Amino acid sequence: MLNEATATQDNHAAARDDAIAEEQVYLDTAHERRSEILQSLDTELSAPAQDAVEQARHRGLARQRTEFQRAESGLIFGRLDSLDGITRRIGRIGISGATDDDDPLVVDWRAHAARPFYMATPVEPLGQARRRHIRIEGRTVAGVDDEPLDVANASGLVGEGALFAALGERRTGQMGTAAATLQREQDEVVRADVRGPLVVQGGPGTGKTVVALHRAAYLLFDNPQRATQGVLTLGPSRRFLDYIAQVLPALGETAIVAAIPDALVPGITVTAEDPRATAEIKGRALWQQALTRYVASLTPESMPVDFVWQGERYEIPSTTVGRLIAAAISGRTYHGAGIVFADQMHDRLAQAIADRNEDLFARIDDGLEDVVHMRVEFPEVGGGEGSEADGVLSEEELDRLREKIAEDPQVASTIRTVWPILDPEEELQRFLGDDASLRQFAPELSDAEREAVSARKTGWATSDIPLLDAMSDLLGDTVIHPAVEEFLSERAASRRDWIYGHVIVDEAQELSEMQWHMVARRSPQLSITAVGDIDQAETPHQHTTWAQAVNAVFGERWTQAKLTIGYRTPAEVMALTGPVLQRAGSLNEPPHAVRLSGIDPWERDVDEAELVVEATRAFQELTERWPGGTVGIIAAAGRIPALSAAMDGIPVITATQSKGLEWDATLVIDPDGIAAEPRGRNRLYVALTRSTQELGRINIR
């Protein structure tokens, strides 16, 4: 029996070695073909672009070249063997065969043909006999995991071995891609065919951030036109954005702007903080209509306008000015209408000058009947040949006159007295600080709420940014940008009004209704993927459902999806969260954890005087137990100054700052102190669920 078992093990090892060798040969071939494609792209890009069409083609080729360059590592990660004998390798990018008649060497994970890799199960094999996960280190095949699809899979997980191997890896401080280990319910969200915003509810460890990023990559692959305008990724903190920074580039998407909501209005820095009650008031959707009404009141009133041109006075009557104002404001921003109004005034002034010249010529002609072929010079037109004997300016002369009028600073100054250029910051300060304006344009506010809002401070707070964005949007730019511009991350980030091909919102439960308006402006087509956990909300906006959070902005145009399986957070840790969620008033079921770490959460009770020493000791112990990994410290906000000062540069952060982050081990200091903070049970839920392996808690006696 022992010999039979040994022989069986030897046979398995030999089969595994043969499979690894087979995949290595295939991987080498794929890399050779990738090098050929890169060389071909370099040759095409070396030829200068002759026109706009060629320039656009070059931009597409350059994006493709970047995608192939970034696929150096992990080029292939999967294989599908179908029931009819067809074999496909799945990888980060698609690699074509050497000729048009050849099958692809590698199928892009985003392609429809790759979907069975994520969706096939023994119950629904989707025509597949086997799925193989291929583990790559650099350009070397390190291992394979075969998953027959004709036998029952008790866990229901796709590529269980590969998934748990990935989950068990040490955390490096940066999120990696998960294209090789996406699970069925995750892939359903990634490829969901919805129109409008998709809001994904997912508890800790369900992979919602990974899903959002992979969904963006899939959508841009499926609709390349979106990629030309780039992706905006909104996260709760710069620390979080740094953590996920490599995911989209690793998936081939480089047209990315990453920002926190506070940074969406270029040139504005948050330097103040509103009380929570005031922040809640400013976050309400009512401000969108209030600001719209206020800006509408700034539209100029009709008045006669006097111009001086070449020493002559010209008056545009009030009735004419009124008609021009009414025509200009139709469907336009304040400044956009102002640009149209100025153009119309230039036309009226040019025509008035031309009419006066014609009249002058007629009066001259009445006194000089014997002069038949007289020509008159009009210096205001620019010294041209002059008009024919009837005194009427030609279209060319009128055009030159309009150009000179448009360039004249005195004319511009006169028009600005009628339609002044307004500064969004000044107008918002004026509006928020004026009780009469608040009464008139925001009648929904109570006396106490108006007083809270008008209690101005120095600088801007987070709750002001969406209001300033709305004011800037309603006033509009003072210049007209080209309708189509090539995406450059620096250009898009510097433009408040840039329209993106897709917007990702992470930790979306934290956004106020006015912040959702701010998001919607960046994607008028509402190509938005928002992910979050409503149970982790801790901002002043008391939303307990997604409908409460987004209906004011999106109405019925949004779709909700759910992630129910927790992959990252061990079951031992998730067992602690039930009572916390219950006391937080949660209406959701916590995610089902699919793995055990084998390490029970532990806690220590210490006296106040011992806290720093015990916290330092516990951190060192965790660091030694998880070499090559990461350890995070989360503490009650009031504890952080003393702990940070005493722990010699070791980062100590709040529960809020830890959102979206993960470590191999987490040390939570003063859980009761965290629970006592505003929406503290929600914050404690966040803090407890950041570890992938081990959780320690230090309580204060």
Q: What are the binding residues for ATP?
A: 202-209
Alpha carbon of residue 589 to chain centroid: 28
**Contacts by 217-220, CB closer than 8 A, 24 or more apart:** 217/110, 217/248, 217/251, 217/252, 217/253, 218/110, 218/190, 218/191, 219/502, 219/527, 219/529, 220/253, 220/501, 220/502
- Residues annotated in a binding site: 202-209
Closest CA to 300 of 211, 414, 436: 414
Angle between helices 52-70 and 2-46 (to 10 degrees): 160
The structure tokens listed for 15 are 């089969």
Strand order in the sheet with 76-82: 107-108, 87-91, 76-82, 128-137, 140-148
* Burial environment of residue 8 by CB neighbours within 10 A (0 to 12, 13 to 18, 19 or more): exposed
Single out the residue of 531, 463, 535, 513 nearest to residue 683, CA to CA.
535
Q: Which residue has the tokens 């959102």?
A: 659
Nearest to 496 by CA among 516, 468, 515: 468
Tokens of 260: 């926190």
Q: Which runs of E-coded beta strand occur in 153-222?
A: 198-202
Q: In 567-690, at which residue ranges do the beta strands (DSSP E only) sit?
A: 592-593, 602-606, 631-635, 663-669
Q: Whose CA is closest to 333, among 299, 302, 290, 301?
A: 299
Q: Cα separation of 504 and 513, whole Å?
A: 16
Q: By the 8 A CB rule, do 460 and 282 touch?
A: no
User: How many whole angstroms separate alpha carbon 81 and alpha carbon 85?
Assistant: 6
Q: Which of 701, 640, 626, 628 is nearest to 668 (CA)?
A: 640
Angle between helices 465-475 and 513-521 (to 10 degrees): 40
Neighbouring C-beta atoms of residue 203, cutoff 10 Å: 28
Beta strand 528-532 pairing with 502-505: parallel
Contacts of range 618-625, beta carbons closer than 8 Å, 24 or more positions apart: 618/667, 618/696, 618/698, 619/647, 619/650, 619/667, 622/665, 622/667, 622/694, 622/696, 625/665, 625/694
Pairing of strands 592-593, 602-606: unpaired
